[in-house]
Structure 1
Amino acid sequence: MNLNMHIILDELKPFNPRAKLDESIELYLKQARIMKGVSQLLSRDYVYVTEAGNLKDGTSEFPARDANIVCVGPLDGKRFDELPCNLINIDAALDLPEVFNILQDIFEKYAAWNRQMIEAVIKDEPLQKIFEIGASALENPIALFDASLALIMTAGKLPENYQGTIWEEVIRYGYSPVENLPFQERKRISELIRTKNEPFFYKSDPSDRYTQMIAGLSIDGKHFGTFGLIDIDKPFTLGQLSLVYHLKNVMELAISKNREITDITEESCYFIERLINGFEVEKKVVEYHLKKRKWSIEDSFYILNFSSPEESLDEKLFKTYMYRIKKLTERAVIFTYENSIIAVLRERDYSLDDPAFLQELDDLLSRIGIKCGISLKFYNFMSIKYPYIQSKIAIMEGVKKDPHKLRYYFRDYYIDHIMNSLDNSTSLKSLCHPQVLKLKEYDKINNTEYVRCLFTYLQNGLNISQTARKLFIHRNTLIYRLNRITEIMEMDLRREEELFHLLFSCLIAEYLF
């Protein structure tokens, strides 16, 4: 395999070299050659070994800017800085033939490493074995994640002191904790992983103890997964970055050939999307798909709508969040729709009254920083369009009213939605009984709660005892208040034709004021 000067520099570190190199991690050096003189035409494809004396002041020419040179012996610092090429200087008790042989050994070492990986690919060896061969040249353990950042495999030995590092969360949860980053930073890193061909170093904060090395993998032009490392054992170098770049290319070849690992995919949910869109789907088609899951059309279901109201999610974040949601709700139908992740849960599998399940759901929502809208329970899968709308409304209304919450139930925001919808189409005050508005004005001036009292009385079917219990007041106190309300409103509260208008008007008054 080809090398570069950064890999060679790492291998020469026992000899305390000094170096002046560009930052390219391209692997272009084919072998080592002995340089016969500065005037020699030097190819960028080789590293040349020469004695430092050949580069001292007084030589008439500089080596070309893209030349790669290892010089042996003492070289003046000023002269070292003047030379425009990639330069490594070894001022040790070594002669030129010894250094040349060391370089030959370096090329052979990595050729053998690459040969071992390629032979394993050709023989269709397990991907884990290929990955471990690749990791043998690295100084830190490495992880391979799929497109959702779920952990596929690791290679290299983890040190005993990995607790407190990102490795602890990866091992515990089985995925990379991208949710620890702010939302915009997640999107930026996601875009870098998808578009940057070379691996790169990353720190979410300059004060972070460890640096991360990240590399995106693509198969047939499609993002497949990610390499992740931290400098937990030894500091990263550009030489190590170069080796990870080569390992990435080998693993892309191995995965495309092997197909042992497949990308996370969504279920076939076209029939659900058609139902949600209001298109007709034959009942027997729906029954066929549900039967494969041992579900029935008449089972009890909920829809959970996962989305980020503030930001739209890109493709990679969708996959990342889908994996986590699937891990929590393995028996649900999960798919993406209208920039949301939709989970259809059967009540028999998941109870929304189960505190343990709700705690796990809240933990997940808190970690990944998204919200969840929950529909009413529904009993006919063919009518899934309406609970989907409910789940969408729950998030829309819930975020406005209770932005701190993680879960929003449609039942809790039903009235808010009705009022907002009516207010958008007409004036709510125009729908309110004028005597209820008069009573509300009296409440404001006199610091009373007669509208609330009237509303509770109407809600409880004009039942004195039941209303008193609801308001936590004595029956006689309630009778007194109702008499005062009748006096203020100047109307009979028991007129049947007025009851709904009064009830709805109380609701509007409580909502508006």
Structure 2
Amino acid sequence: MKLSSAYLAERLRERYDVLTCENISGEDAYFRPFLQTRDVAPARGRVCIVTGTYLKQRQSTIQVQKAKYNWDDVLVILTESDQTEEFRKELSGPYIMLNPNISASDVINTVQRIFDRCDDWVEQLNALVLRSGSIQRALKLSADMVGNPLVVMGIDFTLTAESKGNNPNQGVRLFNDEMVNLEYMNAYIQDETYKKSLESEVPMLLPAFINGCRMISMNLWTKGEPTHRVVVLETQKKLTEGDKCLVAQLASYLEYIILHEPSFQEKDDLDDVCRLIVTDRTADYLTMSNRLAALGWSPRQDYLCLVLQTAGGDKEHTTGTICKYLKKQFPHSSSFQVRQEIICFFNLSKTGQTVEEIETELIYFIRDSYLKAGYSRSMTGHMNLRRQYLQAKIALEVGSRKKPYVWIHRFDQMVLPYLMEQTTKELPATMVCHENLLELKKLDENHHSEYMLTLRTYLEQNLNATQTANELFIHRSTFLYRLEKIKSVLQSTLEDPDEIFYLNLSLRLLEMEEKEV
């Protein structure tokens, strides 16, 4: 997992003499450390150990090259050097300066052990989730890690689960004593800090003056709405900024459990209607349209369909996370799973976004999540929703075969290959193409001529003899000789528009068949 600069700074203070910390936060996140040994750009999003040896080498390099690097997205830990003033001026991001007598190798080992402990905790949570474990068990696994009692409650302050602390105090009564619950709830509702926390997507530290102890609170989101919150109570040790990254990590697992545990699941009418439209071919479209209209999706609005598949086969815990992400990013959407597909309908009129804007917003999510995507066309009304799903499905299936190295496929880009595949679905290309074209192809094979190439180029140049000769790099008279031979073999004057279309299609079908052999 990633750890915040505040959490790492607090753990380092427990072992080392920390001289100074700057720009430390409980809401940033960094990967495991590396030792900066050469004058190259630092790895972004990582913890970077910087020593005096590196700074000396870097100074000599800068004098020659006049080059400096961007350290904004890096957590820098300075050690084995007291010559850091000039370097620190470059740092606008967080950094931790240790006593220069502390060994860099010891620091890197310590930081690795900090990450190891956190990763062990995350692995336990992963195992719990895969076993369909409960919220209660997740809190029990996390209480020692956080060092304080944990509580999950509804937005209405009703207790859902708690991890019993060794020294419970008045603060816990907010959640488990019905006599005082309403009193505390009313006090919190009037508090400005609490009001700000209602829509927050990050952990927030709430004051102690209401229930006698401070607490870190983070909302748990279900289907795009905050339905619960996880709370850490300051009853055993002082809460710090560093605790926030642990709470945020725990919250992601609790959200998954709430989304999938039967006792928490609520019927999502919008998802149900859209799922019926996709899966039930006998569903009455007028009824479905009325149900959608009752949910605020008008038949006069514009819609887009997206079909997603995981690149390596779907995993049970991945689907819910993807659907949750899509709903959170696009409130006016419906996301659900059907077999191995994740289907999402976007109400473009309500989101106020174009197809291109939605595609742009999702492009990195699709790539980084190892997904493959198919987009439909934008269409108006409810009667086309199933057809849009089929468009997106076709785009994904045909695109994955034709261009397996591409992550995202649009129906408009795949419609021609799809039509050609449908043409040869029952009969091969050689049996549906222009019959005399096969004779022309055979003539090329036997005599090493270029009649097929000449015909293809002639059709591509819109029957313009001069342009065709130029494209083939031959004399115009040579082309005209070939053209007469082609007409003779095809038994055609090449003047009928329908026949020209048929020849164009036949050439494409034969090319497609050759590529697939």
Instruction: Decide which structure has the larger Cα Rg and report it.
Output: 1
Q: If the TM-score is normalised by the length of the shorter chain, which range does it land in?
A: 0.3 to 0.5
Question: TM-score with structure 1 length normalisation?
Answer: 0.48
